[in-house]
Structure 1
Amino acid sequence: MRAFFIKYIVQNTLIGFTILQSISASAGGESQLQFSQENFVGNRSNNYQHIIGAKISEKLWFSSFAYLDSDYSTKENLYNIRNTISYDLVKSWSSILAFGFKNPGLYTTGSLQLGKKYNAFSYLLQTGATYQKSWTSESFATALYAPKITNNLTAFFKATLSLNMNSKGITRALQQFRAGIKNKQLVYGWASNFDQFNYNKKTLTNHGLFLRINY
């Protein structure tokens, strides 16, 4: 099963990268192509994620996200393949349309996003709705604090929170925390993930070391 998802993620990455390269080429000088990948070796599982993004125009963005969490003992996999189109509405506000495949199947999401950037601090807030067999409200937040230590080194503190709810309660939630050092294109340090499923009937935690590479 793990091999299947690795193959699926690799295929999706190659397809997404090819599409975004084509978009970047057709958009000419306005385009910006970015790629970031992270591997997290924890006490419970090995966790891999990456994101490929392209600025198509001054207002339009496209990104492709892949996530795989492989448990050492149960061989269960958490996965998420998500493709997102973002359109800038007014200053700091964007509309989001996303579609993808994650446990337990296909989904689509529509939301509004607020993003702010300061010298060493930035954050994103999203709120909207997701359909995956049934409707849920979806909230997402991420905050990054990266103050300079020296000319080459930057401290790195990041928190990511996601929550899906319906009339009965919380169907899915996750919290991810990263603390480390950024040295040019490399980011490395301590990572912690917390996952909750099915109205908190099932919970997972994972703690360990992560390495992220930004291109």
Structure 2
Amino acid sequence: MPIFQYKIVQSSYSLSYSVGTTYQKGFSLEQSISFEYTPYLTENCKGYFSVLAIGNLDDSGYPRGLQFIRLGVKQNKIMYGLASNFDQFNNGKKTLENIGAFVKYNF
């Protein structure tokens, strides 16, 4: 549940930061930052770059962290390109990585 959120939105980029608390076997501080950049490449085609990072902190340290990165092209309502997801658990003792392609259609 966000307690504080700060957001900047411009025609070719957006930046958002939020912080709040969650409760699951105790309270934790959850922070997230998101950045999206869509510069024009041609008249009908934009580049697409997106980063989302989320981190939880509690009295045990860093129980969970997530990072999502997208790099691709946006044409009208469709986006496609390369994607990567990174996930950390238990203060980084366990990690997961996933790299591949993505396709997104905005209805």
**Bucket of the pairwise TM-score, normalised by the shorter protein:** over 0.9
Does structure 1 retain, via aligned residues, the 8 Å contact 2:2–2:18?
Answer: no
Partner of 1:142: 34
User: Distance between the aligned counterparts of 2:64 and 2:82, measured in 1?
Assistant: 24
Q: Is 1:157–2:25 an aligned residue pair?
A: no
Q: Distance in 2 between matches of 1:200 and 1:121?
A: 31
Q: CA deviation at 1:133?
A: 2.0
Residue in structure 2 matched with residue 205 of structure 1 by the alignment = 97
Post-superposition shift, 1:168?
2.1
Whole-angstrom distance in 2 between the partners of 1:189 and 1:196:
24
Whichever residue aligns with residue 86 of structure 2, its letter is: F
Q: For the pair shown, which has the larger CA radius of gyration, 1 or 2? A: 1
2: distance between equivalents of 1:190 and 1:151?
22
Query: Which ranges in structure 2 are unaligned for 5 or more consecutive residues?
Result: none
Q: Describe the superposition over 1:157-182 as per-residue Cα deviations: whole angstroms up to 9, x where unpaired.
A: 00000000012210100000000000
* TM-score with structure 2 setting the length: 0.95
| Greater share of helix | 1
The structure, 1 or 2, with the larger RCO (C-alpha pairs under 8 Å, 6+ apart) is 2
What does 1:84-95 correspond to in 2, within 5 Å? none
Residue 12 (structure 2) pairs with residue 129 (structure 1): no
Runs of 4+ with deviation above 4 angstroms: none
Q: Which residue of 1 aligns with 2:60?
A: 168
- Equivalences for residues 1-215 of structure 1 within 5 A: 109-215=1-107
Deviation at 1:116, TM superposition (A): 0.4
TM-score between both structures, scaled by the size of structure 1: 0.49
In the alignment, structure 1 segments of 5+ residues that lack a partner are 1-108
Give the letter aligned to residue 190 of structure 1: L
| C-alpha contact 2:72 2:82 (8 A) present in aligned 1 | yes
- Equivalent-residue separation in structure 2 for 1:147 and 1:110 (angstroms): 29
What count of residue pairs does the alignment treat as equivalent? 107
In percent, how many aligned pairs have the same letter?
36
Preserved contact between residue 53 and residue 68 of structure 2 (Cα < 8 Å): yes
